[in-house]
Amino acid sequence: MNIDLFVQLPELKQARIVAGMQGKTRIISNVKMMDAPDIIHYLTHGDLLVTTAYHYAGKPERLLELVKAMNEKGCAGLGIKQERFLGKIPAVVLDYANETNFSIIALPEQIGLSSVANQVLSAILDQRTNELKTALDTHRTFSNHIVSGKGLPHLLENVAQLVGSPVLLMNERCQLLSSSNTSSPVVNGMEYLHRMGYAFFTEGSRYSSFTLLMNHPKTVTVFPVYTDKAKKGILVILGSFSHEESQSVLLVEQATNVIAFELMKENALKQYTKRAKNEFFLHYLNGQYASKEEVINRAKEFGLYNDRPYKCVAGRLDQEELNLGFKDNHIESEKVFDFVEEELSIFPFQSHLFIKGEMCFILLEGEEGDTTGESLQSIEFALEMIQDRVTFHFKRSISFGYSHLCRQFWDVQEAHKEALNALHSGRLSGNRQFVQGYQAKDLQKLLRMIPQEDLVEFCDFNLKKLTEPGVTEMALIQTLAVYLETHCQISETAKRLYVHRNTIIYRLEKIEELLGKSLKDPDTTLHLRLALRIQHTLETS
């Protein structure tokens, strides 16, 4: 109830607003009668004070202090029996009330203050009772829509009809889930505000209204849709509510409750499907299926088609939170991976995310017939954007390694190994928040991955007899290296070393004698080639 409705009550028709006419829309939430001069300490926001002003007779400055204090506290208004003791409300008080739109009402002399208070409280109670009854009926109607299987779109249409404005339902990241009409530019505006870190709701607020400054500015009212402690969706009304439309606000709040239950139900179904899909992927990686045909058919059930190109991405948080236990770290990782999955939805390629322990794996699906991976060219850019978003929202860093293109789903098992290899390689280098593609290792890189003690032992076993004192002067090591480099061509070896062919033959026979092995044996030449390469690696490092 507001001041305007207050003066329209049957027994108060003789009451009139003598000042602050523009404040008649102020809402009355309670009525209090003045029986002491220090009443201001007991007034709260929305209170209507009714009084005879006995304590202010002949003290206009005290009455002005009361009105100022009430206005600062957000009180609804002041009802005075001015004829009883004041005779006339001081002009200075009326002027202040007009300036601040604080309503002062002259009450009829023949009605007691208690009667005024009772009438107002009774009217407020009736109004609240009707609102609650309407809310209960609305909640029942909305619930029946959901139970009957009509779904969210039909529910949003009903809400739009009740409030007289289009309605949008968005997830916690301002992505459109459903709407009562065709798409609106408001969607892009809301998503932009979310990405810029705008907070749509202040703490404890029921809803909020603001204007999107677009080509055609649009005022919207947003309501939170709570699905769990960490997430809340947003119900967007393309319009605003006035103070008189509290009934509409209550209806929308009932709708958000029903919508929240429906979203939780849908989320539970998605989680079940997600777990089944995750289990399939892990079983596939572990080789637990009997045949290629079984793998392809099961993959198809989850929207993974064998004739599409794929790239596999392995992701992992760079560092665990030291103040979190194992369980909490696992939960935190899953939150980040869920966020990564949602972020991937804005990019033009199809993605599938799986979780394995403390890592996530993403299959990026290219377009059918794309044999060169052109449709997945922006993969690095996408992953770098996601890294920035993870840092912004979670204050954590995440790194990614990705594979070469595989031309069918059946080859994803190998792509998974490549992605893991790329991620592991980046972490070994001590990098953080990196995006690294797979690179096939050359012999030099492979040798550096082996402990130095093992390399030295291998060299000694294969070359030690050629490096003993008295033997080195014969240049046997150099001769062997050039001989193997020229693919065992004696003439070419002699030419490169500027010696006679017979000298090379003599040296090779001496090498065979010292090693006790034939240089015509493929295994022997392989071991010697590798030992010489290791020796060079050790010397250069």
Amino acid (1-letter code) at residue 89: I
Supply the pLDDT for residue 402. Answer: 93
Residue 313 pairs with which residues in a beta bridge?
Answer: 362, 402
Domain assignment of residue 138, yes or no: no
Q: Are 252 and 343 in the same domain? A: no
Domain-located, residue 133: no
**Residues 199 and 102 both lie in one domain:** no
Instruction: Judge whether 242 lies within some domain.
Output: yes
pLDDT along the chain (541 residues), means of 10: 84 85 87 80 88 78 88 90 79 90 88 86 86 79 74 83 87 84 79 83 82 85 82 86 72 85 84 90 89 91 90 88 71 88 86 90 86 77 92 90 90 91 82 85 70 87 80 78 89 89 90 88 90 81 61
- Structure confidence at residue 259 (pLDDT): 86
pTM of the complete model:
0.58
Closest CA to 80 of 102, 125, 127: 102
Residue 281 lies in a domain: no
Same domain, yes or no: 294 and 424: yes
pLDDT of residue 182: 67
In a shared domain, residues 350 and 403? yes
Q: CATH number for the domain including 81? A: 3.40.1390.20
In degrees, rounded to 5, the angle at the alpha carbon of residue 361 between the alpha carbons of residues 356 and 367 is 150
> Which of 412, 440, 468 represents a domain boundary (last residue)?
440
Is 431 among the domain residues?
yes
* Domain endpoint, select from 405, 440, 475: 440
- Note whether 184 and 314 are same-domain residues: no
Cα–Cα distance between 525 and 120 in angstroms, integer? Answer: 106
Please report whether residue 208 resides in a domain.
Answer: yes
Determine the Cα–Cα distance for residues 307 and 368; give it in Å rounded to an integer: 7
Yes or no: say if 223 and 253 are a contact pair by the CB < 8 Å rule.
yes
Whether residue 142 lies inside any domain: the answer is no
> How much is the pLDDT for 276?
92
Give the CATH number, domain containing residue 194: 3.30.450.40
Reduced 3-state DSSP string for 410-452:
HHHHHHHHHHHHHHHHHHHCCCCCCEEECCCCCHHHHHHCCCH
Instruction: Answer yes or no: do 191 and 167 share one domain.
Output: yes
User: Which two three-digit tokens encode residue 395?
Assistant: 């204050």
User: Are residues 367 and 424 located together in one domain of the fold?
Assistant: yes
Number of domains in the chain: 4
CA separation, residue 165 to residues 152, 156, 238, 244, 343 (Å): 17, 11, 6, 16, 30
Q: CATH number of the domain that 506 lies in?
A: 1.10.10.2840
| pLDDT for position 476 | 86
Identity of the amino acid at 129: T
Provide the domain limits for residue 334: 289-440
- CA separation for the pair 77, 26 (Å, rounded): 8
190: in domain: yes
Antiparallel, parallel or unpaired: β 77-80 and 103-106? parallel
CATH number at residue 420: 3.30.70.270
Asked if residue 181 and residue 99 are part of one domain, the reply reads no
